Structure 1
Amino acid sequence: MKKTGERHMPGGRSNEDPSRAGTAQAARPMEEESYRAIFETAHIGLYRSSRDGRFLMVNQALADILGYEGPEQLRQECTSVAMDIYVDPEWRSLLVETLEKEGRLEPTVCQVRRRDGRIIWVRETARMVEGDEPQDGYFVGTIEDVTQQVEAMQRLRVAEASYRSLFEHAREGIYRSTIDGRQLRANPALVKLNGYDSEEELLTAVGDIAEEWYVEPGRREEFKRLMEEHGEVENFVSEIYRHRTRERIWVTENAHLVRGADGNPLYYEGTVREITDERAAEEALLAARRSAEEANRAKSRFLAGMSHELRTPLNAIIGFAELILSEIYGPLGNARYRDYLEDIRSSGRLLLNLLNDILDLSKVEAGMMELVERDMNPRGLLQDCLRMLEGRARTAQVELRLDVGTDLPLLRCDERRVRQIVINLLANAVKYNRPGGEVLLEARRRDDGGLDLIVSDNGIGLSNEDVARVFQPFVQIGSEESDGPSEGVGLGLPLCRELIEMHGGTIALTSTLGAGTRVTVSFPAERSIPEEA
């Protein structure tokens, strides 16, 4: 007989398969073990908590996130999730309210406190599990540490805010444009530069930058060419239209090409600054400079012409004075006539030398002087210069000395102009010396092969203020120790500088008031010619 409640499958077999029932019973512990393994080895924090805020179960990942050694320590020390874990105690109340109302909490970011007190950001999800009795219900959820992601987003927001502030408040125009010439972005400064009130208005109005912005046809193509070659442009100066009013203005651009991860060009980014006023000022300055240069050339031409005109009668005066002094047509008579004629001759020669200096400096400034160069022995030239100054030095009771190195090269130069430099320097050294003083003329070959000519004296010297002015034309340097006004019009040293610079060299002067002066004329190494050549 069949037992009551027993059911059989067709064919006389029972619906209850004892072997299957045994297998199911055996599978349940295995399934529970699998869930436990997943729970304990998961890389995100998992928990079960009571409604009143106690952890019932936690895994090792959650203990690690919150800074505890293990789940047991976390459960024992955290008696109130709201107070011990959440930075905002009210967060737990909101979580419970949401779970009781909706049954689940979607991923939400909040701040929690680790065991060591450090505050971190986590992303939490949760679900409510109902029990047989209301008090048996509990919550299960996940917690992930997202501190790095949140802080990265915060830094990004700060950077974006900073960029936005720079973009909005920069005084220079900032733009982004496509390669083919459409405007994509424009900051308020660029909007204003183009005569519009808003970025939207500008972007709507501008169609083709190449056609509508640049005055010079092809200027945008030049911009693109430079971008293709260098990836950027610097100080790209152009005349453009103020887009809305069509007023022509000048701007300078700095821009770079932005490429994608695949290396393909995406767009241009750059800055624009209006330089219309600067351009006008530069043009005015250039015009003033051209005018000044022309006036200087006119002055030089006038001085050159005047010098030529004055030299002719001066030569006649000097010549007749010398002729009368020679007494070839008979004696002068009164001895005072000879003194007068000597004054006439010396004054005429002085004035002639001044006119020659003015003429030479005018030629240099006007670009009319050319060097006549040849290879010459500097030793012989320096000896000749000393002989020419011997009479003047003897009258001034100043000793002249020459110190020339043994390894001097030949010098390729304009001998007349070098002689002029040396005589000018020697004459100054004698004139600004004292009775019993000394003037030393030296020639030295430098380590680089160049040649230095040095004139030094132990005379009255110059103040620092005078040293700074000695190379300015028409500046006469005096001294309390000198007797009366000095001869000349202040052209000797300026002329020396011009002449040495025409040779590619330099001149330097050092002086100590009351102790003397030293002037060094330096010729470049390429003007030295070995004697064996």
Structure 2
Amino acid sequence: MNKYKRRISLFLYVCLAIVISSFAVLFFNFRKQVKLQNEVVSIENNLLQADSLTNNLLQIESDKRGFQLTSDISYLKNFYTAKTACNKNLAALEKNLVSTADKTAIRQIDSLMKIRIANLDSGLVIFRSKGTAAAVEFMQLVIKKDVREKLSKQLQFLRNGFLQKLTSHTADINKRSTGNLTGLIVLLSIFIVMMLIAAKTFKRAQKKMIRNHIKFKEAQRIAKIGSWEWDIISGKVSWSQEQFRLLGEDRKDFTPSVEGYLDHLSPEDQKITRSILNDALEGKSNYAIEQEIIRKDGSRLMVYNQGTVLYDENKKPVGMIGTTQDISERKKAERELTLAQKKYRTIVDNSADGIYQSTIEGIFIMANPAMARILGYRSAGELISSVNNIGAQLYVNVGDRQRMAELLAQYDNVENFEVPLRTRTGETIWVSESARAVRNEKGGIIYFEGNLKDITERKKVEEKLIIAQRKYQAIFENTAEGIYQSTPDGRFIMANPSMARIFGYDSPGELISSITNIGTQIYTDPVERSKMSEIIRKQGRIENYEVQVLTKSNETIWINVNIHSVKDDEGNISFFEGTLKDVTKRKKSEEEILQLNRSLDQFANITAHDLQEPIRMVSGFLGLLDKKYSDAIDDQGKNFIFRAKDGADRMSLLIKDLLEFSRSGNKAAKKEYVDLSFVMDLVDKDLSIVMADTGTKLRLPSAMPVVYGTQSALYRLLLNLVSNGIKFRKKDTPPEITIALTELADCWEFTVEDNGIGVAEKDQPRLFQAFQRLHRRDEYPGTGLGLVTCKKIVETHGGRIWMKSEFGKGTTFHFTISKAEGAIMAA
């Protein structure tokens, strides 16, 4: 029994030892698997950091090129942001790496990256100082290209190492998983509790791995980077979820393959991709290509596809791993950038303003054609190559360039800086320059940029304006006429010395300060100013208006004024301005002339009356003689009596016409505003019987103006012209007389047209001469003074008279009456 017990005990001990040993082996094997899985996650993270580092380096170069092309400061900001991201990528790699070889590779990459970034920074400095061509030449140096290639190879070497470790660790994990599964089956039959504990531990590790995998997939989604693996031996291809999404395929319905990927390309891209893929498998080049993929739904994406070939121990390719990144937005941005650059270039090249960039020292970096044209150069290239010191070669005053540079350094912007410049031919021109200082992140000035306009013609006009202003000021100060401005309510705003002198003040200042109400202090009758203001408001001006005013010493003088209103943008009167002159002496002379004319009129009336009386007596007695002694007088005697009586009657008519003629030229006659509609009504009434007897049709305009003149004279003018139309009518043709009116700039033009007998062209010059008759008295009675009288009346009213006629077709008389005296249109 004891023996069995011992055997059983031994068996139990052996079983326990086996169990313990198996458990120990399983436990340590499982620990190793978990460690490998953690390392796999770390390797995957390192791969992601390596890819991100590569992309950031590419972004740095892209931003540098963008800044060189457009000078847009936003590219510099992105440039420095990417530099910071590169350092963060390296720091993350150094933190996760354990292998000495990997750390050595990272240190080499760090060193090469710093050199490469330093080269890029130097390229930017050269671009800012010497231009794009110099920067490109610098970056194409062999030593610079060697650094870039070494950095690329080191990054690829590091990435390949990660991928090989990932493959090795994956295979080791799979192997250990198989061993663990066997051990678990054994342990399950021996010690189920241990299996449960192991399963629980394994489950925890698996969850952690799934979480890490989910994080990795999310990182791929955010970066729009899909990953793929190709086992060349088995032909199996696996895609990440993001890879499926990029191609628009469903994992359930689509089996990944090389041909399946190529089917998403155009035939031309398929051919190119196959060629690059074959070269990569043969070791001739890396597999990297930008291509357009056609998704399942027909939409298109631009992607950057790159991969690494995996080799066995015989250097034979056994697989490939790689990524596919969506670069559609980047490509769109590049297209938009190119388009914007073209538009910018077009705007710059076609601008009428000169546009330029220059160094602080005074060397052109860029200039547009207009800049060259303004400065007299045939092209922008000629300008840039010819001018190596802007201040000394272009500025007439070298200090102007220095002064502008100081303003830019202080304020960053200068606008409308007007300076004289020297053209290629030595001609001096004036320009208006606006510029700004472009600074780097440290605040240092990189260069100046700006635009300029040729304002030479404007400067010439300004110079002429200054001369004109000086002349105007001299005229204003020295003219004999008073010049002034006043408010509508009656205060002086401005007055010249003559204005003060006319009103008896020592200076314009004394006049302005002393007169607070022009209407009550200046005008002898304040109503006159109100009347003038009303005319100005209606017509905008008043001309040659004569009125009595008071001087400082209360002396009454006559002035002649010309005033117009000045209005604001809303049409309201801001102020009146005008000129005036002292016409007191002239008014006194006119009064004397008027008195003489009155005496002459009185003399003419008395003379006419005294002449008319004996003529009427002669005519009367001749009539009585013919009536009473007709039977006793023979035919010859009757003929003598008739001729004597006819001569007396004509003498009476001649005296009457001479009297009208003398009155028509009386310029001293009292003038007033005359409504020609009223005058025309008088003419129409006075001729109504004659017009009715002859069947005359008189056509008048719908409205007649109000003019400044003598009513009796204007009545005689219109009466004579209408009477002529009736008198010189055709036989058996009723007269038709039309009066028309045309408003001209400074006068009214009247036409009186009839359908009468007309006047032959050879006789027309005689019509306006005194005592000239074209017909016999028995045909058309008259003295020959009617049209002469009309001419004098028109000329007295500041106008002229003329006629057009064709014999047998009627006559048209034209005459004008000046509007200068304040004429308006009657309502």
TM-score where L is the length of structure 1:
0.51
The amino acid that maps onto 1:231 is G
Identify the residue that residue 408 of structure 1 maps to in structure 2: 731
Q: Which sits farther off after the overlay, 252-261 or 309-318?
A: 309-318
Instruction: State the Cα distance separating 1:319 from its structure 2 match.
Output: 11
**Secondary structure of the structure 2 residue equivalent to 1:218:** helix
Identify the residue that residue 318 of structure 2 maps to in structure 1: none
Instruction: State the Cα distance separating 1:450 from its structure 2 match.
Output: 3.7
Identify the residue that residue 75 of structure 1 maps to in structure 2: 384
**Residue 92 (structure 1) aligned with residue 398 (structure 2):** yes
Identify the residue that residue 300 of structure 1 maps to in structure 2: 608
Residues in 2 aligned to 1:315 and 1:100: alpha-carbon distance in whole angstroms: 113
Residues in 1 aligned to 2:406 and 2:658: alpha-carbon distance in whole angstroms: 98
**Secondary structure of the structure 2 residue equivalent to 1:497:** coil
**2:562 aligned residue (229, 232, 254):** 254
Q: Which sits farther off after the overlay, 41-50 or 268-277?
A: 41-50
Alignment check: 8 A CA contact 1:122 1:143 kept: no
Instruction: State the Cα distance separating 1:122 from its structure 2 match.
Output: 2.6
**Secondary structure of the structure 2 residue equivalent to 1:196:** coil
**Secondary structure of the structure 2 residue equivalent to 1:250:** strand
**Residue 37 (structure 1) aligned with residue 37 (structure 2):** no
**1:195 aligned residue (492, 504, 511):** 504
Residues in 2 aligned to 1:127 and 1:117: alpha-carbon distance in whole angstroms: 27
Alignment check: 8 A CA contact 1:173 1:271 kept: yes
Residues in 2 aligned to 1:202 and 1:50: alpha-carbon distance in whole angstroms: 59
Larger relative contact order (Cα-Cα within 8 Å, sequence gap ≥ 6): 1
The amino acid that maps onto 1:227 is I
C-alpha root-mean-square deviation of aligned residues, in Å? 5.8
Change (3 A) 1:24 1:181: farther
Residues in 2 aligned to 1:177 and 1:209: alpha-carbon distance in whole angstroms: 9
Q: Which sits farther off after the overlay, 304-313 or 173-182?
A: 304-313
Instruction: State the Cα distance separating 1:305 from its structure 2 match.
Output: 2.9
Deviations 1:357-407 (A, max 9, x none): 44454466679xx9997969xxxxxxxxxxxxxxxxxxxxxxxxxxxxxx8
Residues in 2 aligned to 1:72 and 1:451: alpha-carbon distance in whole angstroms: 83
Provide the identity percentage: 21
**Residue 183 (structure 1) aligned with residue 506 (structure 2):** no
Q: Trace 1:382-397 onto structure 2 (pairs within 5 A).
A: none
**2:782 aligned residue (492, 497, 502):** 497
Instruction: State the Cα distance separating 1:232 from its structure 2 match.
Output: 2.0
Alignment check: 8 A CA contact 2:548 2:556 kept: yes
Residues in 2 aligned to 1:223 and 1:453: alpha-carbon distance in whole angstroms: 46
Residues in 2 aligned to 1:319 and 1:101: alpha-carbon distance in whole angstroms: 116
Instruction: State the Cα distance separating 1:313 from its structure 2 match.
Output: 8.2
Change (3 A) 1:59 1:36: farther
Identify the residue that residue 584 of structure 2 maps to in structure 1: 276
Alignment check: 8 A CA contact 1:48 1:138 kept: no
Residues in 2 aligned to 1:317 and 1:125: alpha-carbon distance in whole angstroms: 108
Instruction: State the Cα distance separating 1:207 from its structure 2 match.
Output: 1.0
Instruction: State the Cα distance separating 1:208 from its structure 2 match.
Output: 0.9
**1:267 aligned residue (564, 567, 575):** 575
Instruction: State the Cα distance separating 1:249 from its structure 2 match.
Output: 1.7
Change (3 A) 1:25 1:82: same
**Secondary structure of the structure 2 residue equivalent to 1:220:** helix
Deviations 1:338-368 (A, max 9, x none): xxxx99x99988766655544454466679x
The amino acid that maps onto 2:398 is R
Deviations 1:413-438 (A, max 9, x none): xxxxxxxxxxxxxxxxxxxxxxxxxx
Residues in 2 aligned to 1:194 and 1:114: alpha-carbon distance in whole angstroms: 57
Instruction: State the Cα distance separating 1:183 from its structure 2 match.
Output: 0.8
Identify the residue that residue 535 of structure 2 maps to in structure 1: 226
Alignment check: 8 A CA contact 1:124 1:141 kept: no
Instruction: State the Cα distance separating 1:209 from its structure 2 match.
Output: 1.0
Identify the residue that residue 231 of structure 2 maps to in structure 1: none
Instruction: State the Cα distance separating 1:293 from its structure 2 match.
Output: 1.8
Deviations 1:214-240 (A, max 9, x none): 111322221222222222223322211
Alignment check: 8 A CA contact 1:249 1:274 kept: yes
Instruction: State the Cα distance separating 1:189 from its structure 2 match.
Output: 2.9
Identify the residue that residue 240 of structure 1 maps to in structure 2: 549
Change (3 A) 1:27 1:182: farther
**Secondary structure of the structure 1 residue equivalent to 2:526:** coil
**Residue 121 (structure 1) aligned with residue 427 (structure 2):** no
Residues in 1 aligned to 2:380 and 2:617: alpha-carbon distance in whole angstroms: 113
Change (3 A) 1:496 1:296: farther
Alignment check: 8 A CA contact 2:377 2:383 kept: yes
Alignment check: 8 A CA contact 2:422 2:429 kept: yes
Residues in 2 aligned to 1:362 and 1:290: alpha-carbon distance in whole angstroms: 19
The amino acid that maps onto 1:174 is I
**Residue 145 (structure 1) aligned with residue 453 (structure 2):** yes
Residues in 2 aligned to 1:195 and 1:25: alpha-carbon distance in whole angstroms: 90
**Secondary structure of the structure 1 residue equivalent to 2:782:** helix
Instruction: State the Cα distance separating 1:143 from its structure 2 match.
Output: 5.5
| Structure index of larger Rg | 2
TM-score where L is the length of structure 2:
0.35
Instruction: State the Cα distance separating 1:281 from its structure 2 match.
Output: 2.9
The amino acid that maps onto 1:213 is I
Alignment check: 8 A CA contact 1:45 1:144 kept: yes
Identify the residue that residue 596 of structure 2 maps to in structure 1: 288
Instruction: State the Cα distance separating 1:469 from its structure 2 match.
Output: 6.7
Deviations 1:417-472 (A, max 9, x none): xxxxxxxxxxxxxxxxxxxxxxxxxxxxxx95546999xxxxxxxxx99x967569
Alignment check: 8 A CA contact 1:126 1:139 kept: no
Residues in 2 aligned to 1:354 and 1:304: alpha-carbon distance in whole angstroms: 13
Which has the larger share of helix? 2
The amino acid that maps onto 1:230 is Q
Deviations 1:102-152 (A, max 9, x none): 9769775322233466543234589999xxxxxxx9985756225165455
**Secondary structure of the structure 2 residue equivalent to 1:174:** strand
The amino acid that maps onto 1:178 is T
**Secondary structure of the structure 1 residue equivalent to 2:489:** coil
Instruction: State the Cα distance separating 1:286 from its structure 2 match.
Output: 2.6
Alignment check: 8 A CA contact 1:215 1:239 kept: yes
Q: Which sits farther off after the overlay, 97-106 or 215-224?
A: 97-106
Identify the residue that residue 486 of structure 1 maps to in structure 2: none
Deviations 1:235-267 (A, max 9, x none): 32221123x222212222222221112222211
Alignment check: 8 A CA contact 1:297 1:365 kept: no
Alignment check: 8 A CA contact 2:772 2:784 kept: no
**Secondary structure of the structure 1 residue equivalent to 2:581:** strand
**Secondary structure of the structure 1 residue equivalent to 2:510:** helix
Residues in 1 aligned to 2:449 and 2:519: alpha-carbon distance in whole angstroms: 60
The amino acid that maps onto 2:505 is Y
Q: Trace 1:155-194 onto structure 2 (pairs within 5 A).
A: 156-194=465-503
Instruction: State the Cα distance separating 1:184 from its structure 2 match.
Output: 0.8
Instruction: State the Cα distance separating 1:196 from its structure 2 match.
Output: 2.5
Identify the residue that residue 513 of structure 2 maps to in structure 1: 204
Identify the residue that residue 264 of structure 2 maps to in structure 1: none
Alignment check: 8 A CA contact 1:375 1:410 kept: no
